[in-house]
Amino acid sequence: MNPIGAYPPELQAQALQLLEAGQLADWLRRRFPGGVHGVRTDGALYDYVQALKNAHLRNAPPIQKVAYDSKMRVLEHALGMHTRQSRIQGSKLKAKRDIRIASLFREVPEPFLRMIAVHELAHVREREHDKAFYALCCHMQPDYHQVEWSVRLYLLELQRHGTMEWTTTG
């Protein structure tokens, strides 16, 4: 699957040029010099997502569970997976939400993690990838679209080279 297949051809050509020249990793490192974030555990991820929700979507339905998922394939799930579970509780039908985030987002700069968390959170309110959905994403992360593009370039780099170091070790 091509991570950047849905983007304009000129943009794809620029990205592939960087990739072929072996400069894409450096381009990404320059753009995100902060290195890998510190949200290591499912507990820390839950707190991270909850803090975003409290800041921007306080009145949205509660999130039940948040976890990294090592089996999740990022692109097949449109950069994330969302499950909406309906449970019968007494006579009430209550929608509960789980948020799963592919484990590869454990080893990325914080803006990448934020982008995927923002994407999943936006689905709590908006089901489809429509205008309202992306407006909500941009409300939570003003440079959402630029970061999503960079995440896709990172996936492209991983497809080609298998791995990428975020900090240069001298």
Q: Which residues lie near Zn ion (CB under 5 A)? A: 78
Query: Whole-number minimum distance, CB 91 to Zn ion, in Å?
Result: 32
For Zn ion, the closer of residues 23 and 83 by Cβ is 83
Q: Which single residue brings its beta carbon nearest to Zn ion?
A: 78
Q: Could you give the strand order of the β-sheet that contains 81-89, starting from the edge strand earlier in sequence?
A: 63-69, 92-102, 81-89
Query: Whole-number minimum distance, CB 123 to Zn ion, in Å?
Result: 6
Cα(90)–Cα(86) distance, integer angstroms: 12
Query: Whole-number minimum distance, CB 129 to Zn ion, in Å?
Result: 6
For Zn ion, the closer of residues 31 and 127 by Cβ is 127
Give me 114's structure tokens.
């934020």
For Zn ion, the closer of residues 51 and 78 by Cβ is 78
86-to-50, 94, 132, 133, 169 alpha-carbon distances in Å? 21, 6, 23, 22, 48
